[in-house]
Amino acid sequence: MIEELFYFIQQLLNGLTIGSTYALIAIGYTMVYGIIGMINFAHGEIYMIGTYVSFVAIAGLSMLGVEYVPLIVLCALVIAIIVSSSFGWAIERTAYRPLRGANRLIPLISAIGMSIFLQNYVVLAQGTRDLAIPPLISGGWKFGPDSFQASLSYMQLIIFITTFVCMFALTLFISKSRMGRACRAVAEDIKMANLLGINTNRVISLTFVIGAALAAVAGLLLGLYYGVANPHIGFIAGLKAFTAAVLGGIGSIPGAMLGGLVLGLTESFTAGYFSSEYKDVVSFSLLVLILLFRPTGLLGKPDVEKI
Amino acid sequence: MKKNFNHALFTALITFIVSFPLLGLSLKSGGRFMAIEGANDHTFTMIASAILMVFLFQLFRDQILGLLKQIPTPSLKLHVLTDMPQAKRNHMENWFTFAVVVAAIIWPFLVSRGSIDLATLVLIYVMLGLGLNIVVGLAGLLDLGYVAFYAVGAYSYALLSEYFGLSFWVALPIGGMTAALFGFLLGFPVLRLRGDYLAIVTLGFGEIIRILLNNLTSLTGGPNGIGGIAKPTLFGMEFGRRVKEEGNSLFHEVVGIDYSSSYKVIFLYLLAILLVLLTIFVIRRLIRMPVGRAWEALREDEIACRSLGLNRTIIKLSAFTIGAAFAGFAGCFFAARQGFISPESFTFIESAIILAIVVLGGMGSQMGVILAAIAMTVLPEIAREFQEYRMLMFGLMMVLMMIWRPQGLLPSKRPHMELASNE
């Protein structure tokens, strides 16, 4: 009995870990969708690039002889954020901005093209096989009876804390700062915001940069957590994060956070109690179920049809 | 000028950040060992020249864009088509179609085997594009998991022929029906979702089908797929060297000519032509039927449709189901042509390519879909020379084509009135 409880706790912890990283990536989808109403399909690739860049940075720093792990991780984080944000900015500038105002399928195709491009860019630059890095942060706490011990690794704790800090900072930024207010205004009504003197182009660029930065954070965290990366991780992570964003109600930032956690928990419990092969099947079915009863997601605003 | 200079400096910096850490440094790792290596000089020269080019372009962008404007852009012939009155355009299209069909039937006897193979592949994509065109182009429902129905069709034929020994001609309608049934079952709950919610659900459905195919190892062979699928026959005549199935005869023996492996390829090609023509014909009829009109009406204005008493669920469901059926036919044919299928062939990228064909074709126009299918299949084939750059260029091409012609190659034009909109 007591083992089962700890087994449950273990699944809960795993689910929260993976869910919080989904939430980080999902914010990028949801913010972009909230402001210009497009699905940024290339966002998953930004996450993948974040992982790669942080691996390169970690390897570079340890080659330079830096041995203090927190410093390495912090530097890698900063570098990954800078590079990923640049990618986010550049993608918006080259592939999406010329298409603004076109039929909404057009930017979608462009985004899919961009996603293929980025994936193959990394294949070309770093090869297609798995890259592994040695674990930087190992160890953790174990608790529970001897027969089954639940464990919370330091890495998981770091993921929780970092995600929480990022979410908190983002919420503060969106609700308190001047630029955040501009973001909300543009999401509400882009034309009106333009008329009121908000530089909407800048706000849109900023959304892409923020989304990319959060994806880079997720890239670093998951990269360290799993220790491996390949150029194809972006697609599935992006798909999951997009599912999370829709689950929570696309366009809503708290929704993305909630959706990520719900999705992560569903996956981890399915894998723990049922079968890990079918965890994606279960999470997509959950998505369909939730959308059937709440067609705009958990926290999405209901669509009002105006005639 | 100063503003341009700052901007140029900024973009050059971004170019550096975007290219250097990934292209310039390559990560070597394994076990507890990891290191980075600088790339070769050639790569560094490339990065440097890219940065320089971006910098110079942004610095003199006003002048360059001014120069570019002075060069008269070669006007695309397609404009002539789109500006023509609809009746005349239809008339011309009919003649054109007839000529193309005749040419397409004669053509395989003149060219190499490789090109016929490629043309067959193009025809499969044409079929898929036409099917998805019903869902996306006509009914305006964004379906990102179309490949699932393609997979259902392909696996239907593979399984039916493996377990029950059914021939291609029997399995073809069954495969189409099965795919249609799947479309119906999926469409029933999800079609009340709007726009992008529908997109993610269909995308999820595509993934579910792929995962199931991958994991139901006892039935589908899992990742190893199903091999040795029987080829289609022509009135009981096989195209192989020897008879594989009891009761069949051999084509070259019946006709009385020497055996050649290219007969099979040509036969498959002609079969594909037949299927495509059938698809085009059926869809053309459908568009003119009340249900086809209703699809387009629903795409244009859902509220107006409902207030006119159209049942939107039935209309959407019919589009979804019929679209799925065509994917099923295409899947059956694909399985028959390949002789081997595995979940690898039904990944999301296929859905993306088919969707790109529809959008590039011009959403709702059949000729456009055919042109786009040719472009999307033949161009990567030509780019095969560039080996590792192939997919990179394919992605880039998708982006550039959208920027170049956002309305598609041959946008469909129907008689309509438009309110002046100030967007």
Q: Write out pLDDT tens, residues B150-190.
A: 999 999 998 888 888 788 888 889 999 999 999 998 888 77
Do B345 and B213 contact (CB within 8 A), yes or no?
Answer: no
What does the pLDDT read at residue B421? Answer: 56
Whether A239 sits inside 8 A of B31 (CB atoms) is no
On chain A, the residues whose CB falls within 8 A of the CB of B203 are 239
What does the pLDDT read at residue B423? Answer: 45
Decide: helix, strand or coil at residue B249.
strand
- To probe the interface with A, which of B17, B135, B218 has the most A CB atoms within 10 Å? B17
Give the list of residues 6+ apart from residue B164 with CB closer than 8 angstroms, or none. Answer: none
B54, B95: one domain: no
> What is the domain range of residue B34?
2-70
**C-alpha dist (Å) from residue B135 to B109, B221, B299:** 35, 31, 10
If DSSP states are collapsed to H, E and C, what string results for B74-89? CCCCHHHHHHCCHHHH
CA-CA-CA-CA dihedral for B160, B166, B169, B174, to nearest 10: -40
Q: Write out pLDDT tens, residues A2-50.
A: 888 888 888 999 999 999 999 999 998 999 988 888 888 899 999 999 9
Residue B409's nearest CA partner among B363, B377, B342, B378 is: B363
Q: Write out pLDDT tens, residues A163-216.
A: 999 999 999 999 999 999 999 999 888 889 999 999 999 999 999 999 999 999
Reported for A70-74, long-range contacts at CB under 8 A and 24+ positions apart, including other chains, are: A72/A136, A73/A136, A73/A137, A73/A220, A73/A224
In tens digits, chain B (423 residues) has pLDDT values of 777 888 888 888 888 888 888 887 877 766 566 777 777 788 888 888 888 888 888 888 888 888 877 776 555 555 555 566 667 777 877 787 788 878 877 777 777 777 888 888 899 999 999 999 999 888 888 888 899 999 999 999 988 888 887 888 888 899 999 999 999 988 887 777 777 788 888 888 888 888 888 888 888 777 888 887 777 777 766 666 666 666 666 666 666 676 677 777 888 888 888 899 999 889 989 988 888 889 888 888 888 888 888 888 888 899 999 999 999 999 999 998 888 888 888 888 888 889 888 888 877 778 888 888 888 888 877 777 776 777 888 888 888 888 887 777 777 666 555 566 554
Could you count the other beta carbons within 10 Å of the beta carbon of residue B230? 23
**CATH number for the domain including A251?**
1.10.3470
Do A24 and A257 contact (CB within 8 A), yes or no?
Answer: no
On chain A, the residues whose CB falls within 8 A of the CB of B389 are 120, 124
Q: Is residue A166 part of a domain?
A: yes
B240, B389: one domain: yes
Q: Is residue A306 part of a domain?
A: no
B182, B105: one domain: yes
On chain A, the residues whose CB falls within 8 A of the CB of B201 are 284, 287-288, 291
Q: Is residue A69 part of a domain?
A: yes
Considering only residues 187 to 206 of chain B, which have any Cβ-Cβ distance to chain A shorter than 8 Å?
189-190, 192-197, 199-201, 203-205
On chain A, the residues whose CB falls within 8 A of the CB of B388 are 123-124
B6, B117: one domain: no
Q: Is residue A127 part of a domain?
A: yes
Min Cα separation A162/chain B (Å): 24
B197, B105: one domain: yes
Count of domains observed in chain A: 1
B294, B331: one domain: yes
Separation between Cα atoms, residue B394 and residue B405, nearest integer Å: 16
B292, B392: one domain: yes
Q: Is residue B416 part of a domain?
A: no
On chain A, the residues whose CB falls within 8 A of the CB of B392 are 116-117, 120-121, 124
Could you count the other beta carbons within 10 Å of the beta carbon of residue A28? 32
Which of B17, B33, B398 comes nearest A112 by C-beta? B398
**Range list of H helices, B108-194:** 113-132, 147-159, 168-190
Q: Is residue A303 part of a domain?
A: no
Q: Write out pLDDT tens, residues A62-94.
A: 888 778 888 889 999 999 999 999 999 999 998
B146 touches chain A (CB under 8 A): no
CA angle, residues A55, A28, B194, in degrees to nearest 5: 140
CB-hemisphere CA count at 13 Å for A31?
A: 29
Beta bridge partners of B323: none
Q: Is residue B175 part of a domain?
A: yes
B26, B143: one domain: no
B230, B348: one domain: yes
Q: Structure pTM?
A: 0.86
B254, B375: one domain: yes
Question: What are residue A179's phi and psi, to 5 degrees?
Answer: -65, -35
Do B243 and B249 contact (CB within 8 A), yes or no?
Answer: yes
Q: Is residue B310 part of a domain?
A: yes
| Burial (CB count <10 Å: 0-12, 13-18, 19+), residue A272 | middle
What does the pLDDT read at residue B31? Answer: 59
Decide: helix, strand or coil at residue B371.
helix
Average pLDDT, chain B: 81
B31, B93: one domain: no
Whether A33 sits inside 8 A of B142 (CB atoms) is no
> What is the domain range of residue A32?
2-293
- To probe the interface with B, which of A84, A120, A130 has the most B CB atoms within 10 Å? A120
**CATH number for the domain including B384?**
1.10.3470
B177, B65: one domain: no
On chain B, the residues whose CB falls within 8 A of the CB of A94 are 399
CB-hemisphere CA count at 13 Å for A274?
A: 12
SS3 content of chain B, % helix, strand, coil (to 5): 75, 5, 20
CB-hemisphere CA count at 13 Å for B421?
A: 4
R_g of chain B computed on alpha carbons = 25
Count of domains observed in chain B: 2
CB-hemisphere CA count at 13 Å for B229?
A: 27
Whether B25 sits inside 8 A of A291 (CB atoms) is no
B385 touches chain A (CB under 8 A): no
What does the pLDDT read at residue B55? Answer: 86
